Amino acid sequence: MFVGLDDTDSLSGGCTTYLASLMMDKLGLFGDSEPEDDASLPKNRKFVNYPHLIRLNPNIPYKTRGNGAIAFWVPDGMVDKARELVFKFVAGQARLDEENTNPGIAFVRDYSKLMLLENLYKKAVSEHVTLREVEKIAYEIGAEIYGFNNGRGVIGALSSIGATLCDDHTFELLAYRLKKNYGLEKKIDIDSVRNMNKRMFPKVFDSIDPQTGQLLLTPKGYDPVFCGIRGESAQEVNRAWNMIKIQEEIERIQIFVSNQATDAHLREKKIKQIKPYDCVTVKGVVSKKPTTIQGGHVLFGLQDDSSSIECAAYEPTGEFRDEVKKLIVGDVIRVSGGIGKHTTTINLEKLEILQLAENTKKISPLCCDKSMSSAGRNKGYKCKKCGRRLGPEVAIIRKTKRKAKLGLYVVPPRARRHLTKPPHRPG
């Protein structure tokens, strides 16, 4: 049986991954091996027995922080025990008294219809999915879903089971604090993290921001998570964990396999096809030059053969904005990012410069050994000394060297979303 779980936490604390870790421990599913051969598993599917940490669409407005859901696999002999345990933990530890906490549970036994769930996941990670859609799919495949409060958590619970992670995946080791330390400053030897990062990158990544030196593996917030170490394999994140020096007692650790850092959320679309809350990749031509507005945000126009849209690189993206500022009208680019409630702006995660337009500058012709002055807009030039006038066609066109370079540019780790693939990863 597959178990899906979502939305047990709140903005003030709690953690769905922590509940999953407790459940895995109670069930003896420690996530250190692959499941034994099971004839009931669908052909051409291989499910690793680490719990799945599945990030869903980061643009959804009613998400809680990282919009992560959990799925894990339970052998046939443990199904009843698992069902009882899941209800017990959700009822006892989810933040049910919080207004925006709406836990969901999903149980799936019929693997023959798993493709429907895979399609659901692909939509839930990239677009907006309604509760009604999920209820319909659950009915079609005979899945059991249980919602608490308004029940919205069943969307993530059922969708997470559809993420088989066959195409690409990463791993994250999460370490959890003792309850007495929740909300307190996290005690960690920063030099040991720097040393680990130097030795383990790129197999382990997003531990430190390279430009600012900011520590990224210790999240802020009043919750059980002490740190999260992301990497390409379970062995590598575990090795990295053993290299850093923790200066407070840790309750437990749990390794998850995840869709983080895979670009699973991005879908190639025409501008006219974009809907609210989409995660998109769009190829087009720069139609309005970049301008910097109050707050340090940089905006420019993009158009394709279907429509036009505004693109925004926000202040927290730091040096990424410097590459955006180098664009000029006519550049052919591909951008990736998220859409909010209104389909007027792409909030940039990536910029790929495919073709550079020529940057030209008009130079006034010479007369009487001096540059002629403008005679007015589109009226040509005049010489102040002799009074001679020439048409606008005599202007000298000079090409200027571009600062922009072809290539892919990604927002820095400190501003990167969970799903965004770092530039060092394959693909």
What pLDDT score was predicted for residue 13?
Answer: 65
Q: What region, left, alpha or beta, does residue 90 occupy, with left being phi > 0 and alpha being psi -120 to 50 degrees?
A: alpha
Please report where in the chains the tokens 């992670």 appear, as a residue: 165
Do 3 and 106 form a contact (C-beta atoms < 8 A)? yes
At residue 59's C-alpha, the angle toward residues 225 and 334, to 5°, is: 115
Rounded to 10 degrees, what is the CA torsion of 111, 116, 121, 126? 170
Alpha carbon distance 123, 30 (integer Å): 30
At residue 260's C-alpha, the angle toward residues 257 and 265, to 5°, is: 125
Task: Give Cα separations from 122 to 57, 103, 164, 313, 418 (angstroms).
Answer: 10, 21, 11, 26, 16
pLDDT in tens, the chain (427 residues): 999 999 888 666 678 899 999 998 888 875 544 444 444 444 443 344 689 999 999 999 887 777 899 999 898 889 999 999 999 988 887 777 777 778 899 999 987 878 889 999 999 999 999 999 999 999 999 999 999 888 899 999 999 999 989 889 999 999 999 999 998 999 999 999 999 999 999 999 999 999 999 999 998 877 799 999 999 999 999 999 999 999 999 999 999 999 999 999 999 999 999 999 999 999 999 999 999 999 999 999 999 999 999 999 999 999 999 999 999 999 999 999 999 998 999 999 999 999 999 888 888 888 888 888 888 888 888 988 888 888 888 887 888 889 999 999 999 999 999 999 999 998 7
What pLDDT score was predicted for residue 39?
Answer: 47
Do 21 and 254 form a contact (C-beta atoms < 8 A)? yes
Query: What top-level class would CATH report for the domain 2-161?
Result: alpha beta
What pLDDT score was predicted for residue 43?
Answer: 40
Return the structure tokens found at 273: 């096809």
Return the structure tokens found at 128: 């907006």
What pLDDT score was predicted for residue 154?
Answer: 96
What pLDDT score was predicted for residue 262?
Answer: 97
Alpha carbon distance 11, 14 (integer Å): 8
Strands of the sheet containing 204-205, edge to edge, are 144-147, 104-108, 2-6, 68-73, 52-55, 250-258, 170-177, 225-231, 204-205
Alpha carbon distance 95, 86 (integer Å): 15
CATH topology of domain 170-258: Glycinamide Ribonucleotide Synthetase; Chain A, domain 4 (3.90.600)
The verdict on whether omega for the bond into residue 202 sits within 30 degrees of 0, i.e. cis, is yes
Task: Give Cα separations from 254 to 32, 48, 51, 381 (angstroms).
Answer: 10, 14, 9, 74
| Domain locations along the chain | 2-161, 170-258, 267-358+403-414, 359-399
CATH topology of domain 267-358+403-414: OB fold (Dihydrolipoamide Acetyltransferase, E2P) (2.40.50)
